Structures are given as C-alpha cells and as structure tokens.
Chains A and B, each alone.
Chain A
Amino acid sequence: MSDATGTPLKILVLVKHVPDAQFDRHLSGPGHTIDRQDSILSELDEYAVEAALQLAESRGGPKAGNTVTALSMGPEAAASAVKKSLQMGATDGVHLTDPALAGSDSAATSLALAAAVRHLGGFDLIVTGMASTDGETSLVPSQLAERLGLPQLTLASRVELDGDGILTVRRDGEFGSQTVQAPLPALLSVTDQANEPRYPNFKSIIAAKKKKVRTLGLAEIGVSTEQVGAAGSWTRVLSAEARPPRQAGTIIKDTGDAGIRLVDFLADQKLL
C-alpha cells in the first residue's frame, strides 16, 4: 500500500451492474433473484466513480501515477459496468465473476469483494455508491469496512482529502449534518449530493478501449464456492409476491372547491 503523503494514490471504486429501473423489474427462480437483462452501471455508482476520479485528479491524476481501478462483481454482462467506468476515466478495471457467486447476499458479496481487494494488494481508498439500485440495502460498504478493518466514511455528501492523507467528509441525515474524519486507508461511500458524474466523451470512449480489464475467478482470490452464492449467504428469500399495482383512484378537476372535496375524501377515509 502506498504512503498517502505526496505519493500517488491507489483508489478502488466498486461498481455494480444492475437492472435498469426504467423498465419493470422482476424476481424469479427458486432463489427469487432478480432478472438481469436490460442492466446498466448502477446510477448511484456513477457518483462513486466521479468522486474517485476527482480525488485522483486532486493529486495530479494518472500522469502523477494515481490509479482508479473499477471493480465489479457479477455475471458476464457486468463487464459493461467496468467498461462504462473506464470510459468515464478509471485507469483500469477488474471483473470478478464466477457462476457460484450468483445469489450472494450482502455478507457473501462483501466476503468476495474483501478477498478480491486483498488479492489486488490493497488500496489507499475504496469508494462505493450509497446503495445498489436493485438490492438497496446499503450493507455492502459497512460490511466491507468491517471485514477489511478500515474506517468507514459513509454516505458522504462532500469529500475532501488533504495533503497529509486525511479524508474529511460531510454526512447529511435524519439527525442534521456531521463532519467525520479519518486518515487513509479508508472506505468512502458517496451520495448523489456529492458531485455531478461526468459523461464519457468521444475521446474518453476511444481511450477506454486501450485500458486493461482483468477477469478474476473465485479460485484466484482464494474463496471456495461454498462461501458465496446461496450456499454462503446468511439470509434467504423464502417467497416473493408481486405487489398488486396501485389502482388510480378518483381524479377531479378543480372548479373552485377542490380543496373542500379533498377534505371530504380525507374525512371519508377517516384520516382527519
């Protein structure tokens, strides 16, 4: 692991390949897992890629030896999430894939990701999104921090790294807002308030074609098939039921008394 002071930063950004929420999403199969066609780089992970790129750029970017490695764990198609990250500006990519990984819960996912991080030699900083847009649990970042023994600076809406390698972030939440601080190495997760993700342009798309993507399997990272997937997960989905779609109710046009009719409706529903 490189010393954060003055020396180049080695950053890992975690990106997930998820079903596009613009289309209907379905659960199926014995494990009630999500259908993964029409998948994209999780929208919320674009903020993580952007945060990683900005931190690397604040140290002089790739020219100064800073690296941003994008890692995605998922089926074959998940390579496209890595590719999109390279087009945004990540320096290289890693695709962790193995049939045994399918159906991993957050505990199994964080176990595999932690093993991949160790296999890759560790990083000064690991950046993740605030939640995956399919699982929406927000568990993986904290679980990865726990497994790797890293301080977590999660749900950051503002990120600063000083010359001494001290990371300071702002967190906004139910409670108000907080400033938290830790020296590198650390784990950072960012919200959609942290930045504006850049769009890949023609030049960056061409440049991405020359970048390296390594494919890793479970054997290489020293994880057995029983530790991941349904076998290695500590939770199981027993059944799934599609929620009946909400029926549109009564729609009225305001002709001067809509506020009163609204209150009539609330009274009928015993909501007053």
Chain B
Amino acid sequence: MANILVYIDTPAGEEPTKAQRELLALAAALGTPVAAVAAGSADAAAGLGAYGVTTAYTSAGDLDGLLVAGKAAFVAAAARAADAAAVLLPNTGEGKEIAARVGIKLSSGVITDATGIAPDLTVTKPVLAGSYTVAARAVHGIPVVTVKSNSVDPAEPGAGTAHVVELEAGEPGPAARITGTAAKPASGRPALQEARIVVAGGRGVDGDFGPVEELADALGAAVGASRAATDAGWIGHEAQVGQTGTTVSPQLYISAGISGAIQQKAGMQTSTVIVAVNKDEDAPVFEIADFGVVGDLATVLPQAAAEIRRRRGE
C-alpha cells in the first residue's frame, strides 16, 4: 500500500491531539500512515506506531527557530524519503503555509480546506464561504492537502511502535527568524478549531463574556467571538470566528449577540447545527439558524447552562 505522509507539528503533550489523530485516521484509510514529526521526543514519535504509523521521520536540525521554511524543507524531504503518495497537514495558518512551499518543492498540487479525501485521492472541500462544495484533484505530482478538523473520526490508539528515522532536511533557504513567542494562556477549554461545540459571543455581550463562558463550560465547548467583540478587547483575537479569524465546523455552534455579517457567517455556516440567541428578530443570523431565540443572552444563556447542569444531576 502507498505511504501517506502526515505532518505532526509540536505535540503539546506527548500524545497526539484530536486533530492529529484525525489526520492519522484519514491516512490509514488511504494507505500506510507515515509521519513527519516536527517536534517532541523520539519516544513520542515512536509512539505514533499506536496509530498505525510505520515510519516516523524526525528532523536532525532544530525547526522551531525559523518561520515555515525549515519545516517545509523537512516535510518535502520526508515525502521524498517515504516516496509518499500524498501529504496531509492540518488546515491551520502554518499548516497551509508549509503545504504551499512543499507544493512548489515537490512540483505538486496543493489543496486547502479539505473535508474529505476519497481512496482515489479526490478531495472534497467547501469554497466561497461554504456556498459550494467542490471535488478537486492534484493533476501534477502528489496531492498536498490541508484537512479541516472534525472531518473524520479520530484514530484510536492500538499497539505498535513506529520506526524512527532522523532526516537531514537540507538548506531551508532565506527565512525569517522567530525572535519571540507568547503562548496563549491555557483556558482548559477545547481548542476552537477542534471543538465539537462552540459557543460564540458578539457585540451583544456588551463587555461581559461571563454568560457565554458559563454555557460553554456546561457543554464542554470552546468559546468563540465575532470581530466586534475581539476588536473591543473583550476577548483575545484568537477567539475570532470568521473570514479573518478561525473557520469552524463543529456539530453545534451557538451564536449569542452576533448579528451574522457575511464575514462572520464565512467562518461558521458549515456547522452541523446552528443555534442563535439575539434580541433583534430581524438579525440575519436567524436566516441560517436551526433554532433561534429572540431574547436577551444575559438571561437565556445562564438559564440554559443551569438547565444543562440540572439534567446532568449536578
């Protein structure tokens, strides 16, 4: 079976994240998973064997100091070493940038925002803010595909150890140096892009994300926001959902105090179920909501959170 290379970036813990396990599951469905592991210990790389990875490539050089170029050279080298039939990466900002450069290095077609890959390597993806679904193929080289989270079920661990191979990635070429990093404070909530449920607040929260966070925690959800809320400084920019923020596609998106501007919809309208709470019955968000409440989020959200806790017997 053909080797399918999965790019595994910085493992926060030593275990692969849910998004990484989704990529591994997809690779296993398409062929034999192999991995390009950009960071972490050799033990963690070997541990990917539990997810069916036969060979895990690690980098001989440090990849963290340079922006994108070093990682792209490493992934291209791993694809060549594995004679990979496809390369899968996460659909994050950095994932797309690495894919872009790997595509040029391997003279290969790059497809972003994938939600599915068929056995013949045809890729399904939404375009134009989710208004169309297209099937696309790489017609030159091998497909280099960035895959959206929540597209497939994550791989479950079994037994097995991957063979770890250290690779010399070669010259990355001119690159920017990373001179400082400020990790975002851990919230204890799931990552926005990976979350099964997202509760998002907009200008309507009027400075207080309390009700949004309370409902999110009752549901085990991630917290999102409109640009109006992040621009106001009520919550960090990393929470922004939309065209210029994160694109999410959770099973449930609860929109509270958000009008539903086109740039906001672009980031959430492929969610499976959309619930909207807005005090203006003419808010455009109601046009795409499966369930809408015309009301004040400051009372509706806490009531819902309390009801969820009550039903769970808390």
Contact = CB atoms under 8 A, between A and B. Distances in A.
A246 interface: yes
Interface residues of B, number: 93
Contacts of A214: none
Nearest to B191: A174
B308 A272 contact: yes
Given A22-B262, A175-B184, A176-B181, A152 B97 contact: yes
Contact of B136 (A143, A176, A193, A237): A237
B275 A154 contact: no
Contacts of A134: 128
B219 to A, nearest CB: 8
Given A150-B174, A242-B132, A254-B300, A263 B311 contact: yes
Given A154-B68, A174-B191, A234-B109, A248 B286 contact: yes
B304 A260 contact: yes
A153 B113 CA distance: 22
A255 to B, nearest CB: 9
A252 B112 contact: no
A111 to B, nearest CB: 9
A138 B193 CA distance: 18
A134 B137 CA distance: 19
B132 A105 contact: no
Given A181-B177, A252-B294, A234 B141 contact: yes
A228 to B, nearest CB: 13
B100 A106 contact: yes
Given A25-B131, A234-B108, A151 B100 contact: no
Interface string A20-44: 0110110100001010000000001
B288 interface: yes
B139 A110 contact: no
B100 A243 contact: no
A240 B303 CA distance: 43
A137 interface: yes
B237 A179 contact: no
A15 interface: no
B136 A146 contact: no
A178 B64 CA distance: 12
A254 B296 contact: yes
A154 B173 CA distance: 16
B251 A27 contact: no
Given A142-B101, A248-B288, A137 B112 contact: yes
Interface string B297-314: 001111111111001000
Nearest to A270: B251
B92 A181 contact: no
Nearest to A260: B307
A234 B130 contact: no
Contacts of A105: 109
B292 A250 contact: yes
Interface stretch (B29-37, B45-53, B238-246): B238-246
A181 to B, nearest CB: 5
Given A182-B176, A248-B289, A258-B295, A177 B132 contact: no
Interface in B114-151: 122, 126-141
Interface string A141-167: 111011101111111010000000000
A235 B307 CA distance: 50
Contacts of B111: 235
B99 to A, nearest CB: 7
A87 interface: no
A107 interface: yes
B100 A142 contact: yes
B96 A138 contact: yes
Given A130-B244, A250-B292, A251-B294, A235 B110 contact: yes
A248 B178 contact: no
B295 A253 contact: yes
Interface in A209-252: 233-243, 246, 248-252
B97 A258 contact: no
A271 B104 CA distance: 43
A239 B306 contact: no
A34 B301 CA distance: 41
13 contacts: A141-B100, A142-B68, A142-B100, A151-B67, A175-B181, A176-B181, A178-B67, A235-B139, A239-B134, A251-B292, A251-B293, A261-B293, A262-B300
Interface of A: 21-22, 24-25, 27, 32, 34, 44, 105-107, 110, 130, 133-134, 136-143, 145-147, 149-155, 157, 168-169, 172-182, 186, 191-193, 233-243, 246, 248-254, 257-263, 265-267, 269, 271-272
Given A174-B191, A251-B281, 10 more contacts: A25-B128, A136-B127, A146-B173, A152-B97, A186-B176, A239-B134, A246-B274, A254-B295, A254-B296, A269-B273
